[in-house]
Amino acid sequence: MLLLPFIWQAHSAFAQKFGYIDSEYILSKMPEMQKANAEMERFANRWSKEVSDRQTEIERLERAFKAEEPLLTDDMKQQRRKTIEEKESTSRDFTNKVFGFDGMYLQKRKELMKPALDEVYKALDKVARQRQLQVVFDKASEGIAMIYTNPVHDYSDYVLEELGIDVKNSTPTNPTSTKITGKQPK
């Protein structure tokens, strides 16, 4: 009689449902992400041009210095070198500020992606509750290595459906995304 609760708990543990989604696939279908990606491209191009312009200016100063070096006094040479080094330092600082770890580029990307990710999370939460899923993995996550995934457990299309995106008439905009097979979770 005392074993009955333990048997029930063991049975419940094995009866838990799980599934997975492919967030890259889902996000590639969302118009909001296409707009966010286009805006990120504009920011990246603008910042890359500024980095390139700074580097071009430094190269111009170095060429001018080398050409005029024989005519300059030691003090003038030292001043020119100092100017070039300051420009290089400023350029490095700017590049790190924009493209470095947790730089402006990543911050802007997070800002632009947040609304779409919030929508995906809400839809995923609703699907998981409806389908009584206890655990949902993300196939696209770098932290989890999913060596094999049975398409029967893929709930990506359900999340897209919950987001109001027609899965049957759309194709992934990201060519590296995994297309879901016709099998659907039960």
| Each residue's pLDDT tens digit, 93-133 | 999 999 999 899 999 999 999 999 999 889 988 888 888 88
More confident residue, 16 or 53: 53
Average pLDDT over residues 20-39: 90
For residue 138, give the nearest of 109, 110, 178 by alpha carbon: 178
pLDDT of residue 148: 56
* Nearest one of 113, 152, 125 to 30, comparing CA atoms: 113
Count of beta carbons in the 10 Å neighbourhood of residue 3:
8
**Over the chain, what is the mean pLDDT?**
81
Tell me how far CA of residue 60 lies from CA of 57, 83, 163, in angstroms. 5, 12, 53
Q: What is the rounded average pLDDT of the residues 162-176?
A: 64
In sequence order, the β-bridge partners of residue 93 are none
List, in order, residues 6 or more apart from 140 with CB less than 8 Å away: 22, 23, 24, 25
C-alpha–C-alpha distance, residues 138 and 152, integer Å: 15
Burial 117-128 (b: 16+ CB within 10 A, else e): bebbeebbeebb
Q: Contact, 154 vs 19, CB < 8 A?
A: yes
**φ and ψ at 19, to 5 degrees?**
-160, 180
- SS3 state of residue 147: coil
Tell me how crowded residue 160 is: count the other CB atoms within 10 A of its CB: 22
Question: What pLDDT, on a 0 to 100 scale, did the predictor assign at position 167?
Answer: 76
* Token pair for 154: 């893929």
Helix (H) or strand (E) holding 19: strand 17-21
CA 138 to CA 23: how far, in whole Å?
6
Whole-structure pTM value: 0.62
Q: Give me the pLDDT at residue 182, please.
A: 36
Is the pLDDT assigned to residue 178 strictly greater than 60?
no
Residue 53 is inside which H or E element, if any? helix 31-68
- pLDDT given at position 172: 45
